[in-house]
Amino acid sequence: MTRHSYLARGSSLLEVLVTIVIMTIGLLGLAKLQVSNLRNHQNTLYRAEATFLANDILDSMRVLNNVTHDQAAAYAVAPGGSSAAAGPSSVAIEDIETWKGRIAQALPDGDGHVEFDADSRTARIWIEWDDRRSSAPDCEAGCDCSQTRPACFTTEGGV
């Protein structure tokens, strides 16, 4: 019987260390994907809420216009305004105040404004909010995206 002496000792320890480094890199990549997924999910939630709120005020305009003709212009509100800018309709003023309150509650630093074109009978609605998680502004064409509210949603509909 001959005995063999092995000079290479500790190679399994080196393999374990390499495996730990590779797994750490993989787990860090997985964590980064999870954070990115969470950020995108929250952005999608804000956009869905903005879509719902824009359609809500558009439907309110249509209902009032059907009940009391030519009252859709009463819903025009300037950015930062707290109530309807034009028109004698108390229903429109109350709808705008409620709508603005819901925007402020649903979206961080949220605000919205409405413009109405009487010739084409269309309303254009903007909803802006502060999406602090995104690194770049997520602004649609036609939105006035400032540094305080980098995210914006706009829609247009007939009244």
CB 112 within 8 A of CB 84: no
C-alpha 50/C-alpha 83 separation (Å) is 19
**pLDDT of res. 146:** 60
Contacts 24+ apart (CB under 8 A), 21-27: none
Contacts of 123 (CB under 8 A, 6+ apart): 58, 61, 72, 75, 114, 115, 116, 117, 156, 157, 158, 159
**pLDDT of res. 142:** 56
* Whole-number CA gyration radius for the chain: 28
C-alpha 23/C-alpha 147 separation (Å) is 40
Please provide the size of the chain in residues: 159
**pLDDT of res. 38:** 86
Which regions in the chain score pLDDT beneath 70? 1-11, 67-70, 80-88, 132-149
Select from 95, 55, 99, 53 the least CA-distant residue to 74: 95
Q: What is the pLDDT of residues 61-77, one digit of tens each?
A: 888 877 666 677 777 77
Where in the chain are the domains? 11-158
Q: What is the pLDDT of residues 36-60, one digit of tens each?
A: 888 888 888 999 999 999 999 999 8
pTM above the 0.85 mark?
Answer: no
**pLDDT of res. 23:** 96
What does pLDDT average to over the chain? 80
**pLDDT of res. 133:** 62
**pLDDT of res. 113:** 87
